[in-house]
Structure 1
Amino acid sequence: MNTPPSPLGAEQPDGSSVRIGALVPLTRPGWVEAGRHLLAGLELAVGDVNDTGGIAGRPLELVVRDTAADPQKAEAAVDELARLGVAAVVGEYHSVVARAAAARADALGLPFLCSSAVLDALTDRPTPWVARLAPAQSRSWQIYADFLLGAGHSHIAVAADPSVYWTSGARILRDRLAPRGGTVTEFDMRVLTPTVLCDALVDHRATALLLLVGHPEPAVPIVKSVRRDKRVADIAIGAPAGQPEFAEWAALLGDDSTAVPFLRYLPERLSPLGTQVEAALRTRLAGAPSFVAFEGYDTVTVLTDVLRSHGTDRARIAGSWPDISVEGTRGRIQFTRTPGISVWQWAWPPVQVVDRDPAQPDRFRILHTG
């Protein structure tokens, strides 16, 4: 493994804090609520680590940088954090942003533990520097496709905002559905308004419409238009990327926020650690924590185990990914090399398809597990 000499000795003398960088979307156009939950999980875990002795007696410090869903900002943040002497970088929610950060971390020889982004091709080439906690998109979206088929939906319409992430998702759905006679028809929301989309759906045979678009725009206006158009009243709406997970979705859509299935990365029952963390996160967030908050907590849990057993040298941290076996909030975390995935991957986190219950919008119903 080729790496420049670690600057940690100069930047973090004995007795100083052990710093880890955190990439989080905290301003628009980033998904701010997801960023807030991710940061809450990271910060809670750092506090718990420091309450139990830190890293060999040294406090763990989180150095946070806002990516605002901008790949260039993420790259610049990775450069800055490397200069500051962080032992590793963690976080990020948006796949395209995480991909830029991963490429830069790989080039610099800086360990990056990605918390939440799912894009399969997180790097163009296999790298020893990057590991990921979230499931790869190919796995989770295949599970979502299986759910659609099981619910009787084989002809799917997709409201798409073309990007690497959304295009990859549509391809995964199409590849999973096609061998079973299913179809996926995409509608480009760069050129269609929600009203025109409804017109197009009238002539389409789809029984389900999937939102492969940003939140809140244009996802929220699309849902409102479809739910109010009697011509397409029977069409089901889905959002595999997880928009309905967050309270903002329910606040903006009210009753229309329910019965929109999405992917969530939680087990049916949390472990004792998960239950304890859930209670603490609920207090910190003044509401129910999303799966993203648990991803944040698990990220620091994994990295703490590495730092305590291997120290702060970057090359040793990256070399430890295959040796990790840590109990997280959602199960035991271990990293492997997975076919088609260029980074060290937790194979696999729990995956659920859930929706908000029409009878009780703040309650989630588990519809399918994988």
Structure 2
Amino acid sequence: MSSPASSPDVRPASPETRPASPEERPTSPEVLRPEGPSIRIGALVPLSRPGWVEAGRHLLAGLELAVDEVNGAGGIGGGPLELVVRDTAADPQRAAAAVDELAGLGVAAVVGEYHSVVARTAAARADAVGLPFLCSSAVIDALTGQPTDRVARLAPAQSHGWRIYADFLLAAGHSRIAVASQPSVYWASGARILRDHLTPRGGTVVELDVNELDPAAVCDALVEHRATALLLLAGVPEPAVSIVGAVRRDRRLAGTLIGAPAGQPEFAGWASSLGDEGAAVPFLRYLPERLGPLGVRVERALRRRLAEAPSFVAFEGYDAIVVLTDVLRSHGADRASIARAWPSVAVEGTRGRIQFSRTPGTGVWQWTWPPVQVVDRDPAERDRFRVLHTG
């Protein structure tokens, strides 16, 4: 966990790691200890409630692993990277204040953030104070209110991933879709993407407000609307866990697909909360079907660090440092130079070659596109993921 916002949480090099490389190579017996001036990088991570703490823990693990590897290889220009971590707790105003604080602490750039609404506020504030921001994990399309050269993003835009999810639903024979949603700009955006993509293809989407309907009422509404699929556009553990349990146990809804495009079942907490009822819930995951040598090595290191299988969010954190390291080495630590460098990035990440372009509707420099999968947890083995669809 990060320290309170009143004091900087600086994550320096640890002595355990080996040099980062785009390819598999053995651990060096000698760790280079950078001794020059440090370069500070701010990190925005949800590490306390109501933030998605599991996602924050995985994101931070990826960031820290990559920083350790950079420093184990001699750092940047002979100086170490230092990660200054701030807990956003899924609070946009807290994130904005953290950006101001980080700018005052002299960080070269800011990375991270998982929650889309929080990332949008952080991106706007970073742009306003002239601080480059590399968003690792938030997907909402309009990450900034107006186009900016200071902000880049690794996660795919929501419209890209959720259209792939909609195609999966149609291919699986589901055209009558219900979404159980909470009031939120992010969830409303997701529902709109699904409706706009499914309606011209013969699908229908009905929205169920879970702030107004309890799980039993959600089940009644599914029967009334003859929906064959229910998508959870709601937070975890609640109300999502209670809704899944109610639908699974309602005999009228046998065969109803439960889906979670935002990725709630990715994390171990989902499986521990729901047991067998949490299996066979398709969700979006931003990983390739097979990892390359770098991805395989990083997966092993992340597994050791987390003591569990790493999520795609951990890989996003690692890749964010890979990109920023490439920029710092080629363009230096000046904030304006970093912002100018986004279009020249061409670096191997854990999930493929990362390059940025201007994608309509996002307003930022966007990796177009990371790999996208629709997966679920195998009912026969809950810790194993089945790839159902790729895009």
Measure the CA separation in 1 of the matches of 2:220 and 2:202. 25
Q: How many residues align?
A: 357
Match of 1:93 among 107, 114, 139: 114
Structure 1 unaligned blocks of 5 or more: 1-13
Match of 1:205 among 212, 226, 250: 226
TM-score (norm 2): 0.91
Aligned to 1:5: none
1:119-168 superposed Cα distances (whole Å, 9 cap, x missing partner): 00000100011000000000000000000000000110000002110000
1:292-322 superposed Cα distances (whole Å, 9 cap, x missing partner): 0000000000000001111110000000000
1:76 maps to 2:97: yes
Instruction: Give 1:318-333 correspondences, 5 Å limit.
Output: 318-333=339-354
Ranges of 4+ aligned residues in structure 1 off by more than 4 Å:
none
Match of 2:123 among 97, 102, 109: 102
1:159 maps to 2:180: yes
1:291 maps to 2:296: no
State the Cα distance separating 1:202 from its structure 2 match: 1.6
Measure the CA separation in 2 of the matches of 1:60 and 1:104. 23
Q: Secondary structure at the match of 1:203?
A: helix
1:224 maps to 2:245: yes
TM-score (norm 1): 0.96
Measure the CA separation in 2 of the matches of 1:240 and 1:106. 29
Q: Secondary structure at the match of 2:374?
A: strand
Measure the CA separation in 1 of the matches of 2:337 and 2:223. 58
**Bigger CA drift: 91-100 or 232-241?**
232-241
Q: Secondary structure at the match of 2:178?
A: strand
1:234-277 superposed Cα distances (whole Å, 9 cap, x missing partner): 21100000000000000000000100000000001101000000
State the Cα distance separating 1:341 from its structure 2 match: 1.6
Whichever residue aligns with residue 138 of structure 1, its letter is S
1:343 maps to 2:364: yes
**2:45, 2:88 within 8 Å by CA — same for their partners in 1?**
yes
1:305 maps to 2:331: no
Aligned to 1:315: 336
Aligned to 1:3: none
**Percent identical residues:** 78
CA RMSD for the aligned pairs? Answer: 0.7
Instruction: Give 1:1-370 correspondences, 5 Å limit.
Output: 15-370=36-391
Structure 2 unaligned blocks of 5 or more: 1-34
1:317-348 superposed Cα distances (whole Å, 9 cap, x missing partner): 00000000000000000000011220000000
**2:36, 2:77 within 8 Å by CA — same for their partners in 1?**
no
**2:359, 2:365 within 8 Å by CA — same for their partners in 1?**
yes
Measure the CA separation in 1 of the matches of 2:375 and 2:81. 35
Q: Secondary structure at the match of 1:122?
A: coil
Measure the CA separation in 2 of the matches of 1:211 and 1:178. 19
Measure the CA separation in 1 of the matches of 2:175 and 2:375. 19
Q: Secondary structure at the match of 2:225?
A: coil
1:64-113 superposed Cα distances (whole Å, 9 cap, x missing partner): 00000000000000000000000000000000000000000010110000
Measure the CA separation in 1 of the matches of 2:246 and 2:107. 47
